Homo-oligomer: A and B are copies of this chain.
Amino acid sequence: MKAVVLKHSAEPNGINYFDDAEIAIPELKEAHDLLVEVKGISVNPVDTKTSKKNFEEDYRVLGWDAAGVVKKIGKAVTDFNVGDEVFYAGDYTRSGSNSQYQLIDERLVAKKPELLSMAESAAIPLTALTAWEALFDRLELTEKDRGKKILIINGAGGVGSAAIQLAKHAGLEVITTASRIETLEWVNKMGADRVINHRQSLSEELRKIGVKELPYILCLYNPNAYWEEMAKIIQPQGRICSIVDADRPVDLSLLKNKSVTFSWEFMFTRSMYQTEDMGRQGEILTEIAKMYDQEILNKTMTKHMHPINAENIEDAHKIVGSSKMIGKLVLTGW
């Protein structure tokens, strides 16, 4: 099968690079495995970060977003049949989606939205799962939060695009941040109620729109950059969730007097640690697919490249790595 593989540069301390390769189609391994023929993939910041890391193996297959067709099913599989059209983000500890066929645990998979193409579907899983888990499993938004305010820092990226829509659908008032005319337009399209500029002081920007404090903050950017400001604007007993690694230690004590709760959301936790509730990811994706089929959610694909090969993956990594990406970038076909 075809695959785009990440290789070590021959030079010492040289950078990794992508190459087109022909490798063996994987055999079913675990009882819950599906073998999926990958039709579309999407590139996320986790790909660009991972591409820069050292690794032991001769090559790695990246890619943590896919839409495709089930070709074989493992012994314990009950929810899927050969021929099902599915989508999933996957498991960071296994081979990724940048290959024509991929093994994936059924508990992480759902049937793709019927109204969406393979390309549009491939744009969704990682970002929608991250946004959903952040809002509902970490910040624990429930019915009682209807009408309350949430600040989503950096709303125009992939996770932001999903989070704005899911938070709106849950009845919250969504304040998000953007700093360019294109991102401002995008977050408005996603349904944000108010937009402030994250290049200015967040507390000052909020003050201008009459907001002093809010009970929820979802930080989709290096939390170090906003730590002091978040401590100022979070409400007593409020909750902050972050998905991006802090690049240096933080002064946790700033949150103490307000009894604030801080949560990490890492979309790969459930699969990486094989948690008892890892099947929640399949359930969440099923909910997400339903919301797309009911036209509750907007599509987030903004760029589409063809085919899936090393040259296009390299270009995709440059675009996603630039931090200017709005919405999602998808590749299809082999």
Spell out A's residues near B (CB within 8 Å). 133, 137-138, 140, 223, 236-237, 245-246, 248-253, 255-266, 268-270, 272-273, 275, 277
Contacts and interface: CB of A to CB of B under 8 A. Distances in A.
Given A246-B253, A269-B257, A236 B138 contact: no
A142 to B, nearest CB: 12
A272 B236 CA distance: 9
A255 B264 CA distance: 7
Most buried by B among A138, A263, A264, A272: A264
Contact of A259 (B237, B245, B266): B266
A225 to B, nearest CB: 14
B250 A259 contact: no
Given A237-B137, A270-B236, A273-B236, A260 B250 contact: no
A273 B261 contact: no
Nearest to A258: B269
16 contacts: A138-B259, A236-B270, A236-B272, A236-B275, A245-B256, A246-B252, A248-B249, A252-B264, A256-B264, A257-B268, A258-B264, A258-B273, A259-B264, A259-B265, A259-B269, A261-B262
A269 B138 contact: no
Most buried by B among A245, A259, A261, A270: A259
A275 B237 contact: yes
A252 B259 contact: no
Nearest to A92: B257
Contacts of A257: 266, 268-269, 272
Contact of A263 (B223, B261, B275, B277): B261
Contacts of A277: 237
Given A137-B237, A275-B237, A252 B258 contact: no
Contacts of A258: 264, 266, 269, 273
Contacts of A260: 263-264
A175 to B, nearest CB: 20
Contacts of A133: 259
Contacts of A250: 249-250, 252
Contacts of A251: 246, 249
Instruction: Give the top 10 A-B pairs by smallest Cβ distance, nearest first.
Output: A249-B249, A236-B273, A259-B269, A261-B263, A256-B264, A259-B266, A246-B252, A250-B252, A262-B262, A259-B264
A223 B137 CA distance: 25
A277 B235 CA distance: 13
Given A137-B237, A236-B270, A253-B245, A261 B259 contact: no
Contacts of A272: 236, 257
